Structure 1
Amino acid sequence: MSNTYKSAGVDKEEGYRTVDKIKSAVAETHNKNVLNNLGSFGAFYEIGGYKNPVLVSGTDGIGTKLKVALDTKNYGSIGIDCFAMCANDIVCHGAKPLFFLDYLACGKLDADVAAEIVMGMVKACKDNECALIGGETAEMPGMYQPGDYDVAGFCVGIVEKDQVIDGSKIKKGDKIIALPSSGFHSNGFSLVRKIFPDFNEEFEGKPIHETLLIPTKLYYQDIKKLMENVEISGIAHITGGGLIENLPRIIPEGLCASINESEIRVPSVMLELEKRGNIDRMEMHGTFNMGVGMTVVVDEQYVAKVLELLPDAYEIGEIVEDSKKIRFK
């Protein structure tokens, strides 16, 4: 009997079936700027209508949150997570997401699982007015066990050069506004899984995996609304490393983000993790978003307008002079 690719563990037919299941849904994310269809060697996106455009790009995965999804066979949200981790980063610079590409690797491809993951990306792309223009599905027996998947993505956005938000305009007296997270998002799950090893244990009346798998919040629409109405000095996406590591990335030298720790609205599942794991509060702030998915820095005159536009946002601190980039009080 002669050897075939299938006998080595790679089923091309399952790959074709995956494409068939997602092709029409992916096409729904396209606009007039997308110049080719799924299946080409490269993806083409035409840029027009900008005077001095700057492309902003980001790439990311969703870490070991995947383990929760795979072990509980809940795949619907992780595509949203993958997109959000990339797109939320570029939104921090005032960029509009243009297009997204994904990479899906596995030990043995299941078209239904792969399609469910990609459909999450499609949903997220539509929410962000972004086109899913390509991707790669790699079946790699021997590298991954059957049932294992890894997911990563790549997003490109665009912004006028004179509208780039980079934190350089942040000044003493500016206020720091918190935009709530939807939960853990996609960070800190190695510790989450250590403290909550049973994903089916009951938490607040339902299996805890339902809380853990709430997808990462998408912030493009919120930031777009703010940019149309107020001047934003800086935006920080609060991911791995929490406020402690991410907020200082946009703070100019000589200035400091002074955070009123008592104002932060910490989700109950994070309080439970902190208590059960006997974890120090600053360790929590250096690992998780603690309920703050994104921070926006604005002049004091814009605070009321921000809170009017985004009713769930709230003030957590201000910019002061200090050699440290962040401090809690």
Structure 2
Amino acid sequence: MPAMENGLTYKNAGVDIDAQDQALARIKELARATFTPGVLSEIGSFGGLFTLQPENPEAPVLVASADGVGTKLKVAQMAGKHHTVGEDLVNHCVNDILVQGARPLFFLDYLATGKLQPHVVVELVSGMARACQVHGCALLGGETAEMPGFYGPGEYDLAGFIVGLAFRDRLLDRNRVAAGDSLVALPSSGLHTNGYSLARKVFFETLKLTVDSYVPELACTVGEELLRVHRSYFAAVWPLVEAGLVKSAAHITGGGIPDNLPRALPPHLGAEIDLKSFDEPAVFRLIRQAGKVPEEDMRRTFNLGVGMILVVGEQHVGQVLSRLVLHGPGWIIGRVVEGAGVRFVGERVG
């Protein structure tokens, strides 16, 4: 397959992660000024923590998060298949509060479109309802906005808001992490819901493919690959959280391992990631090669086959790995080390 002469980056595909980080620094200041005594977390955590009883250490904690599906929606719209992106949305939000140590209580959605198409709405909500049922989470309500002139024909956007429950003594806490702790990875099911601006540019502009194009390297069509459902890790990880076997965890979303794993570590500690420990899925190899994407961009744009990383004390690694076998095995991807930042060692597999 042909490739571009000049390598693609996430920035020239339209997404500037560095600009987002700069904006977030200012947003943190604005949000912090609104904090009340019930707030237990800083902006930038995977989920926000709030308690109704700040003085009671045994009081339950509400954990909330909001997210969207991003330009994966474009692929769904191109394919005319809308039943999976609603599931993506719920699973993404469930994972974000799971890494705080919370189980989901209820979910709300926001759907905006140029012209409401009932069959599309039904498909979207059926996906959300299916995922909510799996997690014992109520689809409590939402908002549908019809905005002609703002969205083009067939276009829509989707966002979700989740609230979960945790207890302060069971919250996953990065301050419990120590140098020498193991990093246990769980595989992703594909791109999940991140990096689609760059992926779409590679598949549809560089390679000139369509959603129906069969790609031998992927053993499926482009649409089938790009619409794989964002995996939920709740069934695999929640029992480990309840058993006290996990210190901290990171959901590997936008920003990849370099930007997400440090959110699960104390500021003075970093991570060493062994590239030899896993085989990178074919879709990422194809994007890298066809788009001539620099390695730094690959690592900060995509999960590269790693959907979640658990920080586990050495004494519990055996138990964690044996329990994960029931849900699709995990593996030791690296360890916690002194000094901030993420370092990659070894040769990439595949």
| TM-score above 0.5 | yes
Q: Secondary structure at the match of 2:176?
A: coil
The aligned runs of 1:40-59 (5 Å cut-off) are 51-59=58-66
Q: Secondary structure at the match of 1:301?
A: helix
Partner residue in 2 for 1:217: 231
> Distance in 1 between the 2:68 and 2:337 partners?
34
Q: Is the contact made by 2:63 and 2:164 (CA closer than 8 Å) also made in structure 1?
A: yes
Q: Secondary structure at the match of 1:240?
A: coil
The aligned runs of 1:98-109 (5 Å cut-off) are 98-109=105-116
Does residue 328 in structure 1 map to residue 344 in structure 2? Answer: yes
Aligned AA (2:344): F
Of 90, 95, 105, which residue of structure 1 is paired with 2:102?
95
Where in structure 1 do 4 or more consecutive aligned residues deviate above 6 Å? none
Deviates more, 1:181-190 or 1:276-285: 276-285
> Distance in 2 between the 1:301 and 1:155 partners?
33
> Distance in 2 between the 1:201 and 1:168 partners?
48
What is the CA-CA distance between 1:126 and the residue it aligns to? Answer: 1.3
Q: Is the contact made by 2:170 and 2:242 (CA closer than 8 Å) also made in structure 1?
A: no
> Distance in 1 between the 2:106 and 2:215 partners?
37
Summarize deviations over 1:122-147 as a string: whole Å, max 9, x none: 11111211110101111111111121
> Distance in 2 between the 1:273 and 1:200 partners?
17
Aligned residues: 280
> Distance in 2 between the 1:174 and 1:227 partners?
16
Q: Note the aligned Cα RMSD (angstroms).
A: 1.5
Aligned AA (2:171): V
The aligned runs of 1:127-142 (5 Å cut-off) are 127-142=134-149
Among the aligned pairs, what percent are the same residue?
45
What is the CA-CA distance between 1:316 and the residue it aligns to? Answer: 0.4
> Distance in 2 between the 1:73 and 1:203 partners?
19
Partner residue in 2 for 1:201: 213
Summarize deviations over 1:139-175 as a string: whole Å, max 9, x none: 1111111211110010000100111113110001100
Partner residue in 2 for 1:293: 307
Larger Rg: 1
Partner residue in 2 for 1:4: none
Of 317, 336, 344, which residue of structure 2 is paired with 1:319?
336
> Distance in 2 between the 1:174 and 1:91 partners?
20
Partner residue in 1 for 2:24: none
> Distance in 2 between the 1:301 and 1:230 partners?
12
Partner residue in 2 for 1:276: 290
Q: Is the contact made by 2:170 and 2:244 (CA closer than 8 Å) also made in structure 1?
A: no
Structure 1, unpaired ranges of 5+? 1-46
What is the CA-CA distance between 1:279 and the residue it aligns to? Answer: 1.6
Of 130, 149, 155, which residue of structure 2 is paired with 1:123?
130
Of 220, 225, 233, which residue of structure 1 is paired with 2:247?
233
Q: Is the contact made by 1:230 and 1:305 (CA closer than 8 Å) also made in structure 2?
A: no
> Distance in 2 between the 1:180 and 1:156 partners?
25
Q: Is the contact made by 1:230 and 1:306 (CA closer than 8 Å) also made in structure 2?
A: no
> Distance in 1 between the 2:159 and 2:236 partners?
24
> Distance in 1 between the 2:138 and 2:280 partners?
34
> Distance in 2 between the 1:166 and 1:132 partners?
28
Partner residue in 2 for 1:183: 190
Does residue 77 in structure 1 map to residue 89 in structure 2? Answer: no
Summarize deviations over 1:228-275 as a string: whole Å, max 9, x none: 334211100000010010001121122111111221331111111111
Q: Is the contact made by 1:53 and 1:161 (CA closer than 8 Å) also made in structure 2?
A: yes
Partner residue in 1 for 2:14: none
